[in-house]
Amino acid sequence: MTAQHQEIALSIRRLKVRRNLFLCTPALVVLTIAAVGPLLIMLLYSFLEAGPYGGVIWNLSTDGWFNVFFHQDIFDGTVSVADAHLSIFWRSVNLSTQSTLLALALGFPTAFFIATRPEKTRGLWLFLITIPFWTNLLIRTFAIMQVIRDQGIINTFLIKLGLIGSPIEMLYTEFAIMTGMTYVYLPLMVLPLYASMEKLDFQLVEAAYDLYATRLKVLWKIVIPLVKPGIVAGSILVFIPSLGAYVTPRVLGGGRNLMLGNLIELQFQQGRNWPLGAALSITLLVIVLVALLLYVRAARRGGNGHGWSGCSAETLSDSKITRFHGDGCSLFLSALFSNCGSRHLFI
């Protein structure tokens, strides 16, 4: 290709980039108002004084951030670590991680099953996977409650079989919260896994079997490395909303097992400590951004041969083409919308 042809191709790409940026402008404006704006308000509130009956007093103060990690006794003024907050932080991360791992354990074989079906029936299976999204989150959570409560389906079935004499207490426990979040967010794990497995070259699997590799070795050495981007993307898509979950812990936890979303709502409502609630919201966002950073690094190591890396945009800088993949940006925006405690302020 001559230098003139290269210059023409470069000009065409520049024109496409400018056109795409122009078309994205309305969406960027909406995102700025709907996502970045509330975050800036929360950041500002976190550095103000709490009002006596809610709201804020417009005096700069770091009490909100201090109270996130420390507690000062109202009688003698001694300072100690805020054990309750740290416990809720740990419970949120722990349950989110467990829900992600359980969703992966259930979603991986499900996605593999769909990817290995005849092409004309895959759409039907994907359609069935997305059906739960047609139902309101609260209704799905109440459905899980009917399954695991003392007189629910599981306990009734086990009692009739004679396996247990009295109901197993599952409702209003951490197990109930983990089960509920896994059920609610399982499709978010299946879909990116399927997107990776659909592109998997199964001739590599057949070649491994011809070389007398066991099924476990084929899974570990061939399938998992090739679908790694889907695994990472699905894990992030489950972990992020689980970390900021509000409805599921509220209904299935019974108020005894608070998570970060419930703690933030508690500060804005009953606690009437808006600076503390805002500081907790920003802290939650920081945790999510750390998780996204780990995802980006893992995705770069995993390559871009599979998964959701097909959605990319091209920008030009100093006459050089730089390619930005859409995964990190889309997940960052999902973090803004799904994990800011401000969405529960006034419910």
pLDDT tens digits along 161-195: 999 989 999 999 999 999 999 999 999 999 999 99
* Mean per-residue pLDDT of the chain: 84
Give domain status of residue 133, yes or no: yes
Q: How far is residue 247's CA from residue 183's CA, in Å, rounded to a whole number? A: 13
Q: Is residue 19 part of a domain?
A: no
Residue 247 near residue 338 (C-beta atoms within 8 A) = no
Burial status of residue 160 (CB atoms within 10 A of its CB: 0-12, 13-18, 19 or more) = exposed
CA distances to 27, 92, 157, 194, 322 from 219, in Å: 41, 31, 35, 15, 34
Domain count, the chain: 1
pLDDT of residue 302: 55
For the record, the structure tokens of 19 come out as: 């056109």
Cα(74)–Cα(227) distance, integer angstroms: 54
Measure CA 136 to chain center: 18
pLDDT digits (tens, 9 = 90+) for 45-56: 999 999 988 899
Q: What is the dihedral of CA 342, 345, 346, 347, to 10 degrees?
A: 100
Note if the pTM is more than 0.85: no
Does residue 185 form part of some domain?
Answer: yes
Q: What would the pLDDT profile of 304-333 be if each residue is shown by its tens digit?
A: 444 443 333 333 333 333 333 344 444 444
Distance CA 119, CA 125 (A): 10
Question: Per the domain annotation, does 126 fall within a domain?
Answer: yes
78 phi, psi to nearest 5 deg: -70, 145
Query: Is 15 part of any domain?
Result: no
For residues 158 and 164, the answer to whether their CB atoms sit within 8 Å is yes
The larger pLDDT score, comparing residue 65 to residue 14, is at 65
Sign of CA dihedral 297, 303, 305, 306: negative
326 in a structural domain = yes
In the predicted structure, residue 67 carries a pLDDT above the cut 70? yes
Angle, helices 119-130/83-115, rounded to nearest 10 degrees: 150
Percent of the chain predicted with pLDDT > 70: 86
Identify whether the C-beta of residue 211 lies closer than 8 Å to the C-beta of residue 288.
no
- Select from 191, 182, 209 the least CA-distant residue to 95: 182
CATH of the domain at 298: 1.10.3720.10
Query: How many degrees, rounded to 5, is the angle at CA 110 between CA 104 and CA 112?
Result: 100
Residue 323 belongs to domain spanning: 82-344
What pLDDT was estimated at residue 20? Answer: 86
Token output for 38: 């509330």
Check if the beta carbon of residue 232 is closer than 8 Å to that of residue 295. Answer: yes
Q: Which value, to the nearest 10 degrees, does the dihedral of the CA atoms of residues 224, 226, 227, 232 take?
A: 90
Q: How far apart are CA 236 and CA 328, in angstroms?
A: 10
In a domain, 21, yes or no: no
Residue 68 belongs to a domain: no
C-alpha 129/C-alpha 123 separation (Å) is 10
What pLDDT, on a 0 to 100 scale, did the predictor assign at position 303?
53
Residue 72: the pLDDT is: 85
| Alpha-helical regions (H) of the chain | 3-31, 37-45, 63-69, 83-115, 119-130, 137-148, 153-161, 174-198, 202-210, 215-218, 224-226, 228-243, 247-252, 260-268, 274-302, 326-338
- Give residues with Cβ within 8 angstroms of 293, minimum separation 6: none
